[in-house]
A = this chain, B = another copy of it.
Amino acid sequence: MHTYPALLQLVNKKITETSFGSNPKELYDPITYMMGLGGKRLRPVLTLMACDLFKVDVNKALDAALAIEVFHNFTLVHDDIMDNAPLRRGQETVFQKWSMPVAILSGDLMLIRSIDLLAKTETNQFSKLLSVFNDTAAKVCEGQQIDMNFETSNKVSQADYIEMITLKTAVLLGASLEIGARIANASHADAANLYEFGKCIGIAFQIQDDILDSFGETAAVGKRIGGDIASNKKTLLLIELLDSVHKDDLKLLQNLLAEPNEETKIAGVLSLYQKYQIQAFAEAQKQQYLDTAFHHLQAVSVDAENKQVLIDTARELMSREN
Q: Among the listed stretches A39-47, A97-105, A276-284, which one makes contact with chain B, having 4 or more residues with CB under 8 Å of it?
A: A97-105
Q: Which of A26, A102, A127, A138 has the most CB of B within 10 A?
A: A138
The answer to whether A134 has its CB under 8 Å from any CB of chain B is: yes
The answer to whether A116 has its CB under 8 Å from any CB of chain B is: yes
The answer to whether A175 has its CB under 8 Å from any CB of chain B is: no
| Contact assessment for B26 and A141 in the assembled complex, using a CB-CB cutoff below 8 Å | no
Measured as residues with beta carbon below 8 angstroms from the partner, the interface class of chain A is 35 or more
| Contact assessment for B104 and A21 in the assembled complex, using a CB-CB cutoff below 8 Å | no
| Contact assessment for A148 and B82 in the assembled complex, using a CB-CB cutoff below 8 Å | no
A78-B104, A82-B104, A82-B105 as given contacts; A26 in contact with B134, CB under 8 Å: no
The answer to whether A274 has its CB under 8 Å from any CB of chain B is: no
Tell me whether chain A's interface is mostly helix, strand or loop, or mixed.
Answer: helix
- In the assembled complex, how far is the CB of residue A125 from the closest CB belonging to chain B, in whole angstroms? 13
Q: Please, which residues of chain B bring their CB within 8 A of the CB of A142? A: 21, 23-24, 27
The answer to whether A131 has its CB under 8 Å from any CB of chain B is: yes
Quick one: CB contact mask for A24-60 with B, threshold 8 Å, 1 for yes? Answer: 1011000000000000000000000000000000000
The answer to whether A267 has its CB under 8 Å from any CB of chain B is: no
Q: Among the listed stretches A1-9, A107-115, A235-243, which one makes contact with chain B, having 4 or more residues with CB under 8 Å of it?
A: A107-115
